[in-house]
Amino acid sequence: EAAIGANAAMHALGIPTTRSLAVTTTGEAVYREHGYPGAVLTRIAASHLRVGTFQFAAAIQNQPQLQALADYTIDRHFPDIAQAENKYLELLQKVMELQASLIAKWMHVGFIHGVMNTDNMSICGETIDYGPCAFMNRYHPESVFSSIDAQGRYAYGNQPVMARWNVARFAETLLPLIAANEDEALAAANAEIAAFPDHYAVHWQAAFRAKLGLVTAQANDAELIGWLLAVMQAEQADFTLSFRELAMALRGDAAPVRARMHHAADFDAWLARWQARLVEECGSPVAQHKIAAAMDAVNPLYVPRNHRVEAAVNAAETGDFAPFNALLAAVTQPFAARAEWADFADPAPKGVAAFTTFCGT
């Protein structure tokens, strides 16, 4: 149920994802931290090829089979490189670019996957396996919710690092196809992997520029974005609502976002810098109202808040699906404010126990 809601929300947010087609109960119990009713979730995707698929093919050391897998992947997902001089190196480039784009999209909605192993990295750049995922409430780059991630390997801020690590594992499987000479293959693959941070930065900055209503790329964009995030971290500000309230500030009501930032002087200084940048770009109050509307179109009001997901799951276990259906309705229309969904925008009340996700969630 949680996975269905999460991938439906991600789809509504415009983030590439697998989808849930059907759930079939098995009538048996599945035992993890405690017993769960067994079920099979049927997922649909552009394909279910993963980095782990290539690792398995490489592990059996059968190069014809590995090449057949790579050729199938190119034919299915990247036919434009089929005639390239080194199509396997270009396959690495394509997969890396898709991952850089995908992780940037995760980051700009506060999504934390929770278990970014190589078997959960789709070759076609879709989000897959929602078991221990969560959406961040208060902004903090070290946010972790998964019960199996005690060391923070897959923390919010570490997701780009882990994506690069997964791309490197993918590159290892392609080495015998990239070049017959191992040194040449390593040099070519390492050059691509070294470029991952730059590719990711392009996507990350573009995503956050859109969240801030900025339409031109400037040299100090990373500084401006990083400054806001640092203030949000210091003030323990809610990630989702902070960006919605910035749009309200453009409409003339800065009180909600200033209150969320506890009227911090550093935030007021940032706000003045941001507004000056917008004036530089658009120049008129009328245009700023249009920018606010554009911001509302990319900054969700409703995401699957962890406490709401938990409440929906608990109710469903008793046969009551009304909370789940209401939550699903809100998160699949995440940008439009509706009075009947107001509660779904709220963070968890103070005093609510820390939320922990499990692979069985």
DSSP codes of every residue in 226-251: HHHHHHHHHTT-BHHHHHHHHHHHHT
Rounded distance between C-alpha atoms, residue 99 and residue 285, angstroms:
38
- pLDDT at residue 36, rounded to an integer: 80
- pTM of the model as a whole: 0.94
Residue 268 lies in a domain: no
Is the pLDDT at 268 greater than 90, yes or no?
A: yes
- pLDDT at residue 4, rounded to an integer: 82
Is the pLDDT at 353 greater than 60, yes or no?
A: no
The amino acid at residue 30 is: V
- pLDDT at residue 276, rounded to an integer: 93
The confidence band for 358, taking pLDDT boundaries of 50, 70 and 90, is: low
Cβ neighbours for 83, distance < 8 A, ≥ 6 positions apart: none
User: Which pLDDT tens digit goes with each residue over 26-45?
Assistant: 999 988 778 888 889 899 99
Q: Which residue has the higher pLDDT, 360 or 49?
A: 49
Residue 310 lies in a domain: no
Residue 313 lies in a domain: no
Residue 258 lies in a domain: no
For the chain, what is the mean pLDDT?
Answer: 94
Residue 320 lies in a domain: no
Pairing assessment for the beta strands 134-135 and 111-112 based on DSSP bridges: antiparallel
- pLDDT at residue 200, rounded to an integer: 99
Rounded distance between C-alpha atoms, residue 237 and residue 264, angstroms:
11
- pLDDT at residue 2, rounded to an integer: 67
Is the pLDDT at 266 greater than 70, yes or no?
A: yes
- pLDDT at residue 355, rounded to an integer: 66
Query: Domain limits at 113?
Result: 51-204
Residue 358 lies in a domain: no
Q: What are phi and psi of 21, to 5 degrees?
A: -95, -45
- pLDDT at residue 167, rounded to an integer: 99
| Active-site residue (options: 71, 75, 80, 119) | 119
Pairing assessment for the beta strands 35-44 and 111-112 based on DSSP bridges: unpaired
Q: Which residue has the higher pLDDT, 244 or 350?
A: 244
Q: Once rounded to an integer, what is the mean pLDDT over residues 216-223?
A: 96
- pLDDT at residue 283, rounded to an integer: 75
The confidence band for 86, taking pLDDT boundaries of 50, 70 and 90, is: very high
The confidence band for 349, taking pLDDT boundaries of 50, 70 and 90, is: confident
Answer yes or no: are the C-beta atoms of 120 and 103 closer than 8 Å.
no
> In the chain, what percentage of residues exceed pLDDT 90?
83
Check if 119 is active-site: yes
- pLDDT at residue 214, rounded to an integer: 96
Is the pLDDT at 247 greater than 60, yes or no?
A: yes
What DSSP letter does each residue of 31-90 carry, written as one string? ESSSEEEEEEEEEE-S---BHHHHHHHHHTT-HHHHHHHHHHHHHHH-GGGTTSTTHHHH
Rounded distance between C-alpha atoms, residue 140 and residue 181, angstroms:
45
The confidence band for 147, taking pLDDT boundaries of 50, 70 and 90, is: confident
Residue 30 lies in a domain: no
Is the pLDDT at 141 greater than 80, yes or no?
A: yes
Residue 82 lies in a domain: yes
Is the pLDDT at 360 greater than 70, yes or no?
A: no
Residue 168 is inside which H or E element, if any?
A: helix 159-178
What's the domain count of the chain? 1
